[in-house]
Structure formats: structure tokens, C-alpha cells
Amino acid sequence: MEALVERLSGLDPQVDGVIRVVMFYDTLMRRRVDLPALARASAGLAECVAGIRLHSTGRVIRVAPDGANASGPPAPASTTAPVVLDEEEIGTVWLERPGPPGPLDEAVLDRLAIAAAAVFERYGPERTTMADPALVELVISPGADEAARARALRLLGFAADLPVRVAAVRSPLPLDRIGTLVCPGRPVKAAPVADVGVILATTLDAARFPAGVRAGVGAAERPDHAWREARTALRFTGTREPVVRYEDLGALALLARIPSGAARDNADVAAIARLAGNPDELNTLDAYCATGSLRQAADRLHLHHSSVARRLDQLAKTLGIDLTEPAGLTRARLALTMWRLLDD
């Protein structure tokens, strides 16, 4: 190799520099360096700040030429390059050189990007959205040791300083597809646990859940508390409201704590249960409870308001509740909600 460098440098002095850059990174890879060491070596070689960012974890490494972590806000990158692994862009590398790029900056970044991809493949977390269910269960388990929980989060690719949102999902769609939809371009993991799908994400857009998916989204900072909240919110979902955030439930969340036996024994809940065999009556009651208006319920059901009025009259007799009174409407709403919670 040295002989080849000498022969080529006689033809083009810049070729000598490029080949030496290649040899430099080949040596680093043989030494099996990690990402911080790779950034330090690159900053020393380029004599300016070098940076590495991983999209999956949001982790950013910036190192000054003296080998110390770069302080202060990042300067505009003079040169950047994508880090690509298995045809997927997993990160970015850059140099922060004052003034124009140096003659070998492109070669340095090209080799740095290749080396960063190799390091990530060797040491980094799984790149797929689907995760080991055992690790996910450890993260959301209420009885887990906090050190073990933190280690599981690291193994899943979540940085220690990033928040983790939790969603409980029931869906015919693959969990990995749902995860990438609700958390695009950021760390997200999914796994089935018992009868429910779990999604862990650094950010989670509840509006991006696709049609056909029922999901409850937790609000707490601790993953185990957020999981409990997400499971509770999932119980409140239905056809009309397939995605529920726990923070939006407010006092309604208290209904989930009522023992199922006590709920079934309640006369209003039992009356709702008897309507289960008649979808038209149940849908009419649901629409009226949701809107509190006969005409709005008729619009939602695509029926004439007189037809809805007749159904509500019959429902009032069946339930023994005056649906025209605020107290009666509140009773019907609570009974309908409690009946649905019994199914979960």
C-alpha cells in the first residue's frame, strides 16, 4: 500500500492525501473504535470540529480538534454527509470548518460516514422498529428495578435524556408500521405484550394513528406509570373515538377503577347491556350521548330527526331514564361508558 501511495502521489499530490485518509480510517476500524473515538480522531485529522448524529436515538457527538467535547452552539457545517446502512439513512456526519471546505474534507467525511455506519452496526441498538418483547416488558413493568429499566431503554436505543411516550394498541395492522407512522424520523420501538401492542416513542402524534387502530396514550413521565395510563385510556376507545389520550379523560378515568361486579349490578348499566343485541338503538343512544342534541345525533346517524326522536322515546322507556333532562343524559352517558369498560 505504501508503495502504491508513493507512485500515485507522483502523478497527483491530492491522491496521496486521499489514500492516506483511507488508510487512516482503515486503521481506526481495525482498532474497533466507538463513535466518540471516531469523532475525536476525525476532528484531529481535519483540524476542526467534527460531528456525528444518529437519527434513531437523537444522539449528537461534537468534538473539537483538541479531543474535547465541543462547547457552545454548533457552527454552520462546512461539509456534511449522510450515514447510510442497508440503504437507509441512519445519521449524519459533518465538519464545522471556518471558511471554505478543505481540499480533503470530502474524502474525510466520506470515510467517516462509512466508518460510523460500521460502528453503529457493530455496537448500536437494533435498527428495526420491532423490539424484543422481554426488553419492552421490562421497561413498562411496575415491579422493575430502575437500573434494569434504564438499561433496557438504552438497549432499545433510547438516550437517557430523552422522554419516552407509551401507547397501548389494538390493531389488525403491523405494529412496526403504526410505530413509524405516529413517530416519524425519531426513536420508536414496538412489541406485543400479552394481548396488547406496546409502542415506545420519544414523541408520539396521536392524530397520526391510522384508521382501524384503537390506541390509548399515556401521559406520565415514568414508562411504567404511562403504560398503566395507556391501558386505561385504551379501555375508553371505541368506534366513535378510536384514540384516547389519558390526559383528556380527566375525572372519567376514575370509572376504570370501579369493580366490574359493582358495575354489572348497577341498574343503568344492566339496562344498557340489554340493548347490546339491538345495534340501531345502541348507536342512537351513543350519538345522542355524544352530541346532546337530537338534530346533531340525526345528522351523525344520517336519519331524519323525527326517526331519532321516536327511537329516543322508546329508549327512555326501556332505560327508565328521562333523556331530555341533563341529569338523565348524564346517567345515560355514564352507564354507556361503564358498559363499554366491562368489555375490556
| pLDDT at residue number 3 | 43
Cβ(110)–Cβ(82) under 8 Å? no
Instruction: Indicate the pLDDT class of residue 10, thresholds 50, 70 and 90.
Output: very low
Q: What is the mean pLDDT of the chain?
A: 87
| pLDDT at residue number 128 | 63
User: Nearest-CA neighbor of 289 among 337, 232, 251, 339?
Assistant: 337
Amino acid identity of residue 73, one-letter, is P
| pLDDT at residue number 130 | 78
State the Cα–Cα distance between residues 303 and 311, nearest whole angstrom: 11
Instruction: Indicate the pLDDT class of residue 276, thresholds 50, 70 and 90.
Output: confident
Summarize pLDDT for 61-94 with one digit per residue, the tens.
Answer: 999 999 999 988 888 888 999 998 877 788 899 9
Summarize pLDDT for 317-339 with one digit per residue, the tens.
Answer: 989 999 989 999 999 999 999 99
Q: How far is CA 75 from the centre of its chain?
A: 30
Summarize pLDDT for 204-244 with one digit per residue, the tens.
Answer: 999 999 999 999 999 999 999 999 999 999 999 988 899 99
Summarize pLDDT for 144-195 with one digit per residue, the tens.
Answer: 888 888 888 888 888 777 789 999 999 988 888 898 889 887 788 999 998 8
For CA atoms 260, 262, 265, 267, give the dihedral sign: negative
Enumerate domains of the chain plus CATH numbers.
2-123 (3.30.450), 133-256 (no CATH), 258-342 (1.10.10.2840)
Close Cβ partners of 226 (under 8 Å, ≥ 6 residues apart): 140, 164, 165, 166, 218, 219, 220
User: Nearest-CA neighbor of 201 among 234, 240, 168, 241?
Assistant: 168
Flag whether pLDDT at 288 surpasses 50.
yes
| pLDDT at residue number 195 | 86
For CA atoms 35, 40, 45, 51, give the dihedral sign: positive
| pLDDT at residue number 54 | 83
Query: Looking at per-residue confidence, does 15 or 178 come out higher?
Result: 178
